[in-house]
Structure 1
Amino acid sequence: MNVIIYHTNDFHSNFNNLKKVHAYIKANKTADDLYLDSGDYTDLSSIIVQADSGKSAMQLMVDSQLDAMSLGNNEIDLGKEALVELAKSGVPLLSTNIRDLNHKNIDGIFSSLILQRAGKRFLIVGLSPYYSKNFEHASYDLFFMMGGVTTEEPIVLLKEELEKQKGQFDYAILLSHSGLFVDKVILEKLPEINLCLGGHTHDIATFKGYSQSGQGEKLGKITLEITDTGIVESENIQIDLIEQSNERFDTLYKEAETTTTQILSQPLPIIRELAFDALNESELINFICDALMKEKKSDLAIMHTGIAEQALINPVSKKSLIENFPSKLNPTQYQLSGKAIREAILLSFDVKHIKNSGKGPGFRGRILGTLGFSQNVQVEKSTGQITIDGYPLEDDQIYSVITDDYLQRGSGYPSLKVGDHEATFEPGFIRDLVEKYLLDEEIFASSKVQRVFEEVL
C-alpha cells in the first residue's frame, strides 16, 4: 500500500496557481493521502487577504483538502489576533517556534499534530522562519513583534517536540518555512525527521527526504511505500500543473472577491488627486515624503518612486490603495552620511538604472524608479548641487533619514543600506501612511513644492 504526500509552498496569494492545485488534488487525492503546505500562502499585496486578514483566502485552502500548514512570515505579518482567527478556519496551523510577546503559546497554533493514514501515524511538525541566510538569530523579529509575535530558536524546540512525541508516531514530517540553506542544517542535526517539506526560498528542490516546490507553480508528490518493516520513500517528484476548467474554485473565488469588494471599496475622503511619474518628480511621491517627515521628525525623507503603481485617483478606497501600493514596506528611520545620500541621489539620475525591475524583499512593484525627497531638500541635476534646509549636503556629516525598509536594505540604491540593528521600523505600511494623511491640507499643499531641478536655480 502507498501513501502519497502532496506538497506546496509560497503561493503568495497567487490564486491562479492554487486553482490548478485545487483541481489536481480534487481529482487525485485519496483518503490515504496527505496534502501539506509550508507557508506563505497569504500575501498582504492581495486585496482578498487584506479584506479580512486572510479568512476568506483560507477557505479556498480548506476546499483544496489541505491537511496542515506551517506558518510563514507572510502569515505572521498578519499579526497575532489575525492568526488566532485563522486558526479557526479548519486548517491546522503549525509552528514549533512562534510565541506572543510574553513568550506564551498563541491560541490555536500548535507545534505538531498526528494524522493517521493507511494504519500508520504521521507526526507533522511546523516551523516558522528564524534564521537569516547568514544564520543570524531572530532575524525577522523586528517586524514580527510589531504584530505581537516573536520567534524562538527552532532546533532545540524541534528536538524537544520530537522527544515529547517519541513512541507516538511511525514517520516524522517537518513543514519548514526556513529556506533550503537552513533545512539542510536541520536535517543534519535531526536525523529523526524522515521528510522535510520546505519553503521560504522559493527553490524547486527534490531529493531523498526533501521537497520544496517553488512558488506554487509546481506540486510536490512524494510516494511512501507502506511495508511490513516500516515506511520507505519510493518516489519524490515535482508535477507541472496545467490550466484547466475548475468551476468549483471559480465560484468560491468569486464569492471571496465579492466579499472583498464590499469590505474594501467604500470611498475614503480625500482633498484632491495626486499626479505620479515613476521616472520623474511627482506630487504623489512628494506627498509620501512629506507625510514621512510629519510622522517621524528627521533631517530628510527619501522614497523610491517604484513604491507606487499610478497616480492617486478618485475614488480612493482601501482597495485602490492596496492595488496602488502593493509592497509591504514599513516606514524606517536611520542615520546615513552625506556621502551615502549623495551617491544614491546621483544614481537616481541614471535613466537605465531607474528602469530596472526593483526586485527586493517586501517589494511588489514593477520598477525601481527614481528617488523623491521631502520639501526641505533641493537637488540641481545639472550641477549635482544638493541642499537640505538651505544648507549644502556635507559628505562627512551624519543625517537622520526617514524612508522604508526597502531602501534601508540597499535594494536598488546600495549606498542607502544599513543593518537592521541600526534602524527603527514603524508599524504599518507606506499605503497606511498615505491613508492616514488623505485629509491633511498642509501635506497636500506642500506636495506641489518642487524639489528636483534640471538647471541651476
Structure 2
Amino acid sequence: MNDTIHIYHTNDLHSHFESWPRIEKFLAKRKKWHEETGDEMIVVDVGDHIDRSHPFTEGTYGKGNIKLLNEAGYQYAAIGNNEGITLPHNKLDELYINADFKVLAANIYDLNGDRPAWAVPSFIHETKKGMKVGLIGVTAYYQKYYELLEWKITDPFQAIETEIEHLKNKADIIVLLSHLGLYDDERIAEDYPDVDVILGSHTHHVLHEGKEIRNTLVCGAGKYGYYVGHVELNGIGHDMVKKARVYEPRNLEPAQGEEHFAEDLYKAGKNELSTIVAHLPVDLTSEWFEPSDLPRLLCEGLTEWCKADCSFLNSGLILEMLPKGAVTKFDIHRICPHPINPCVAELQGNELKEILLQSKSEEWPELQIKGLGFRGRIMGNMVYDRIEFNGTDIKINGEPLHKDQTYRLAIPDMFTFGHFFPHLQRLENKHYYMPEFLRDILELQICKAGSSADGLF
C-alpha cells in the first residue's frame, strides 16, 4: 500500500495568539494541496493550547481556544497540564463539549475509575486509501494536583503500553501525542519500538528535523506558535520513510486581519471579565523594590486563606498598581495573571529559619523568572506577613521562632518548584490549594479594601 501521510502538529501555544492567523491560513493551504495530490493530512495539537494568563482564555475558561482549534480544522488533541490542572474540575469537564476534534487522553480518569466522556485513550484514523494510523495521547503525571481537582491520573508509560497492545495488530502506524517532555519521549523511543512517531511537547523543545531513536522519529515544535511541525510518512513497517521539519509562521504568508487578531481576542477577554468587584476609596500602590499596598495585601490574604502562621511572597507577582474607583475582574487578572496556587508547607522551626534567611538573599529582587506559572518579569523584593527579622533572629506572630515547634508557612506554589528553595522542593508535608489562584485571594482582599479603608492601609 503506497500512501503518503502528512501530520501537522502544534504544541504549547499558551494562548499566544499572535501567529494564529498565519497558522490557520497555512493549514488551510496545505489541506488544499494535499487533497489535490491525493495525500492524507492529519492536524493535531499536543497540549497547553490554553493558558489562563490570557484574558480571552480566562474569560471563556478555555472554550475560546477550542473554537479556534475547530476553525483551524484540528482533528486530534492531547491535553497538557494547563488544560488538566489549571481549570476547576467542572470547567475541564465542559471544556471540549463543542470540540470538533477527538481528545486523546489515555491516562486520565474520574475518581471512580471511569474515563471522562470527553476523552478517548487512542483512536485509529483511516486514510482514504485504507491505511490505519493509530493515535495515542498521554499527559504529564502530576498525580497530587489532579487528585486535588478530583481527577485520577495514571502512569503514562503503563497507559502507552496498554494502548500499543491494543493498536499494534490493528494499525499500520502508531503515533504518540506526548505531553510528557523530551526526556520521557526519548525514553519511550528506546523502550517502545512499536511507536513510529512521537509528537512531543511540555518542555518546549524544538527538533527542526526530528530525532531518530531506534525505530522512532521524535519531534517537537517549540512553544507560543513560533513553529508548526510537519511529519511526512511514506510506506509502512521497516520500509517506512519518515521526514520531519518545522515551519516558522513569521516566514509564512500574512493572513488577512492578522494585525488586529490578537488585540481583538484580548478585548473580547476584557469584555468577558468586565464584572465590577469593588470600588476603591484610594489608590493601591505596587512597587517591586520598596514596600507597597498590593503585595502586602496579597501576603496578608495568603496567611488568612491558608490558616497559616505566617507567609511570604515576591512583590513581582503584582504587575501594576490599582487607581481608586471601580475595579473589575479584568483589572485583577491584569495585575496578577499567573496560574499560581497557594501552598502551605509544615516545617520545624529550624527548617523555617533556614528558608526565611535564604529568602533575604540580595540576589532575589532582580532575578528574572520564566515558567513555573510565573507570567511577570522579575522576582522583586520579598514581602512578609507575621514575620519579623532582627539580623538572624526571627519572630513569628511576635514570638521568638522556636526551632522544635511546627509552623504552617503559606507561599506561592512556584517556591516549591525549580531550585528557589531546595528544602521546600524536597519537603513531603505540603498542601496545595486548588483550583484557587493567588488572584482569587487578591480579589477578596481588594473587596475588603473597597468596603473599608480603615485597618488596611
Query: In which range does the TM-score fall when normalised by the shorter chain?
Result: 0.7 to 0.9
Q: Deviations over 1:263-292 (max 9, x none)?
A: 211221244442111112222122112212
Displacement of 1:47 after TM fit? 1.1
Displacement of 1:386 after TM fit? 3.2
Matching of residues 391-402 of structure 1 within 5 Å: 391-394=399-402, 397-402=405-410
> Would you say the 8 A contact 1:73–1:128 is kept in 2?
yes
Match of 2:102 in 1: 92
- Of 201, 225, 229, which aligns to 1:220? 229
TM-score after normalising by structure 2: 0.86
- Of 161, 164, 167, which aligns to 1:162? 164
Match of 1:333 in 2: 344
Q: How many residues align?
A: 434
TM-score after normalising by structure 1: 0.86
Match of 1:440 in 2: 448
Matching of residues 372-451 of structure 1 within 5 Å: 372-374=383-385, 376-380=386-390, 383=391, 385-394=393-402, 397-409=405-417, 412=420, 414=421, 417-419=424-426, 421-427=428-434, 428-440=436-448, 445-448=454-457
SS in 2 for 1:183: helix
How has the CA–CA distance of structure 1 residues 113 and 420 changed in structure 2, closer, same or farther, with 3 Å as cutoff? farther
Match of 1:68 in 2: 76
Match of 2:307 in 1: 297
- Of 144, 147, 163, which aligns to 2:146? 144
SS in 2 for 1:311: coil
Match of 1:116 in 2: 126
Displacement of 1:332 after TM fit? 0.8
Counterpart-to-counterpart distance in 1, 2:171 and 2:242: 20
- Of 285, 289, 295, which aligns to 1:275? 285
Matching of residues 229-378 of structure 1 within 5 Å: 232-242=240-250, 244-247=253-256, 256-272=265-281, 273-313=283-323, 314-374=325-385, 376-378=386-388
How has the CA–CA distance of structure 1 residues 311 and 340 changed in structure 2, closer, same or farther, with 3 Å as cutoff? farther
Counterpart-to-counterpart distance in 2, 1:190 and 1:167: 15
Counterpart-to-counterpart distance in 1, 2:204 and 2:268: 30
Q: Deviations over 1:231-270 (max 9, x none)?
A: 7234212223326532266677666445423321122124
SS in 2 for 1:269: strand
In the alignment, structure 2 segments of 5+ residues that lack a partner are: none
Counterpart of 2:286, as a letter, is F
Displacement of 1:172 after TM fit? 0.9
- Of 12, 15, 22, which aligns to 2:14? 12
* 2:114 is the alignment partner of 1:104: yes
Moved more, 193-202 or 145-154: 145-154
SS in 1 for 2:77: strand
Match of 1:128 in 2: 139
Counterpart of 1:317, as a letter, is T
CA RMSD of aligned residues (A): 2.6
In the alignment, structure 1 segments of 5+ residues that lack a partner are: 131-139, 449-457
Counterpart-to-counterpart distance in 1, 2:364 and 2:301: 26
SS in 1 for 2:254: coil
Counterpart of 1:218, as a letter, is Y
Counterpart-to-counterpart distance in 2, 1:12 and 1:52: 15
Displacement of 1:68 after TM fit? 0.7
How has the CA–CA distance of structure 1 residues 252 and 360 changed in structure 2, closer, same or farther, with 3 Å as cutoff? closer
> Would you say the 8 A contact 2:12–2:47 is kept in 1?
yes
Counterpart-to-counterpart distance in 1, 2:104 and 2:312: 39
> Would you say the 8 A contact 2:168–2:174 is kept in 1?
no
